[in-house]
Structure 1
Amino acid sequence: MKCLMRLIRAKDHCGLWSDDGDAELLAKFITTHEQRRAIPIVGDLDPLILWRLNTFYAAVGVAIEVRSSLLVSRTMELSPEGIGRVLFTTKRLVLLSSPLRNVHSFGFSTLRKCADTGTKLVSEAVAAIEAYPDVARA
């Protein structure tokens, strides 16, 4: 969550969110079940949802870098239907490959769910680095 907040603040070049508190900014990542049902799954992806998706996975990448002291690359492929994959890699090792489904309604039911998901992804990537340290650092 700290990495997510740092990224949101860092991307606020014009100061649009400078008056908003952390809770208000993190609330943008919450999507209730009612909101999910109201989102059409046909059509172009909403720019706010793409921003949420990109910012969340960028924060995961930053957290991996902080915990491992390695540079991490993130690649995200996304189809117009809202299906895709995100990959986190070092120079020679795939740290994490996560499928993306139902991107049209990307969000979390609670902030706890957001934090738990991010922590789980970071832990999996760091575990891969610890399992294959020579390959990760090559």
Structure 2
Amino acid sequence: MSETIATTPEQAVLDQEFLKTLVSLIRAEDTYGAWEGKSDDILLRPFILTKEERRLIPIIGDPDPDTITRMEQFYKAVGLTIEKRTKLMATPLMKMSHEGFGRIVLLTGRLVVLSKHMRDIHRYGFPSVEALATEGTKFVNEAVALIEEHRVVADL
């Protein structure tokens, strides 16, 4: 008789392809082993900002370098997930001003698969892990649909 292991809703969210890619990327960038042995939810915690935490962050001054790094990791994970699905490299390009405004573009070949203006980078984050997964998966699905529709341009 086989035994089924029940998973919690939180574990089901963490098992999503995009979040697995994001956690793998975070672990790959851990050159000193500081995050070795830490759970996935602990690694994803810096991406989560409650409304109260968001309100406490001033938008005056330069954005925190750790916040910019998290944003870069998010979009790199979007690109890597796209690459896993399509076998085509999706390269993120980011240009941010010191005031916290900018733009993210993901390119596959000559095709722009994602273009997003960013504001208030100081307060970059998601209200929950579910929202993080939903946003990342949404970007990936939209990009994959564009690639499938315009495969010739994406292959260039």
Per the TM superposition, whether the score is higher than 0.5 is yes
How much has 1:48 moved relative to structure 2? 1.7
Which segments of structure 1 move beyond 6 Å, counting only runs of 4 or more? Answer: none
C-alpha separation in 1, matches of 2:148 and 2:67: 33
Q: 1:30 aligns with which of 45, 48, 52?
A: 48
C-alpha separation in 2, matches of 1:107 and 1:59: 15
Are 1:104 and 2:122 an aligned pair? yes
C-alpha separation in 2, matches of 1:95 and 1:26: 25
Identity of aligned residues (%): 46
Secondary structure (helix, strand or coil) at the match of 2:152 reads: helix
C-alpha separation in 2, matches of 1:22 and 1:68: 26
1:44 paired residue number: 62
Q: Deviations over 1:73-122 (max 9, x none)?
A: 21101111111111011221111111111110001000000000000001
Aligned residue type for 1:69: K
Are 1:88 and 2:106 an aligned pair? yes
1:9 paired residue number: 27
1:132 paired residue number: 150
2:87 paired residue number: 69
Aligned CA-pair RMSD: 0.9
TM-score, normalization by structure 1: 0.96
C-alpha separation in 2, matches of 1:53 and 1:85: 11
Aligned residue type for 1:119: T
1:114 paired residue number: 132
TM-score, normalization by structure 2: 0.85
**Does the aligned pair in 1 maintain the 2:76–2:91 contact within 8 Å?**
no
